[in-house]
Amino acid sequence: MKISFTYRQILLHLAWWVFYIGNFLIGMYMRMADPGLIFFDMCLHFLSGILFFYFYINITAYWIFEKKIFWMGALLFIVNASILYGIQASRVLYADYLGKRNEIPQFYLQFHTLILGYLRDVVQFTGYGTMYWFYNQFYKQQKEKLQLEQRSHEIEVSFLKSQINEHFTYNMLNRFHTEASKYSDQLAEGILSLSDLMRYSVSEQENTMVALSEEIKYTQTLIELNRQRLDNQVEVHFEQEGTGMADWKIPHLCILTLVENAFKHGALKQAPLELHLNVMPEQLRFSTKNKIKPSSNEPSTGIGVKNLQRRLDLLCEGLATLEYRIEEKYFYTDLVIKAP
């Protein structure tokens, strides 16, 4: 039977606290004669440690290691440590309240117990919490990596299944190009461009990473085909700047997908489609802006911004970000890929 991640975490925590608390109880039972006092005393002691530990791994460590806002992390640490000290100090006060101060072992009232013992617990549980936090982050990263690998396999299988239909379509388009050339050069050129675009889509699927120049070439082919489809009634402003374009490789279809998405969902007869590519040695940035259609009855192909984000996570391993937003009836996308 496969154990879920949550159930495994619960068992791990229970096993640790049983071992840790049991070890202390054996030692403390030999030093204190009153079972009632030792039970409540140990409850307070371990309650303080457990609260400190879970506060640290869920809140303090998050601000320090993930958010990297150290002043907030330090403030939360001080609050957490103060709660720990308050609970531990209440153990002596509780014994006084019961009139059993004389039954408390003398080492409880010594300096090294009241102060140094407290500092020991702070250092100890901080160490446990830090090790656990980094272990947990490592486990999550491995789990996400496995999920991305599974997703990559699913994409590959999907591509292989679709290649038969795509190759059939590609071959038929070539035949139509030959027949159309007898009647209209413009129609024949359009079919040939669509055929080339289909071939690019099919042939590069296994490579996953393609030259930036190739992606731009077929993106411009897509733009021209859509211009013909819309009777040249659309404006497309494609600005390119920067150097080092020949050195870049990017995930296949990542730019073309964003442009295709803009043509599909944009009101391009009402406002121009604006594309901007900025290439630098350290990073590449591609952005789009299009006015949104009031409504669209076109079915979704499943290749959209969200699916593209998953492919970028898989292929670029943290080096790519894709952001999109809607402002005043306009849709914006911003793709940034950093150099490895």
The pLDDT, as a whole number, for residue 111 is: 58
The pLDDT, as a whole number, for residue 101 is: 59
Q: What is the pLDDT along the chain (340 residues), one digit of tens a residue?
A: 556 667 777 777 777 777 776 666 665 555 555 555 566 666 777 778 888 888 888 888 888 888 888 888 889 888 888 888 777 777 666 666 666 656 565 555 555 666 777 787 888 888 888 888 888 888 888 877 777 777 666 665 555 444 445 555 656 666 665 666 667 677 667 776 777 777 777 665 545 788 899 899 989 988 888 888 787 888 999 999 988 788 899 988 889 889 988 888 888 889 999 999 999 989 999 999 999 887 654 444 435 677 788 778 878 888 999 998 888 889 999 999 998 8
Q: Which of 194, 201, 202, 199 is closest to 223 using CA atoms?
A: 194
The pLDDT, as a whole number, for residue 163 is: 47
The pLDDT, as a whole number, for residue 156 is: 58
In angstroms, rounded to a whole number, what is the distance separating the alpha carbons of residues 216 and 21? 64
Please state the φ and ψ torsions of residue 330, each to the nearest 5 degrees.
Answer: -115, 145
List, in sequence order, the alpha helices (H) in 98-116.
111
Classify 326 as helix, strand or coil.
strand
Residue 39: CB atoms within 10 Å:
12
Q: Is residue 49 within 8 Å of residue 13, measured between CB atoms?
A: no
Q: Where are the domains of the chain?
A: 5-143, 231-340
The pLDDT, as a whole number, for residue 3 is: 61
Structure tokens that stand for 140 in this block: 């999550």
For residue 64, CA distances in Å to 9, 56, 68, 320 come to 23, 10, 5, 24
Class of domain 231-340: alpha beta
- What order of strands is seen across the sheet that includes strand 283-291? 236-242, 273-279, 283-291, 330-338, 320-327
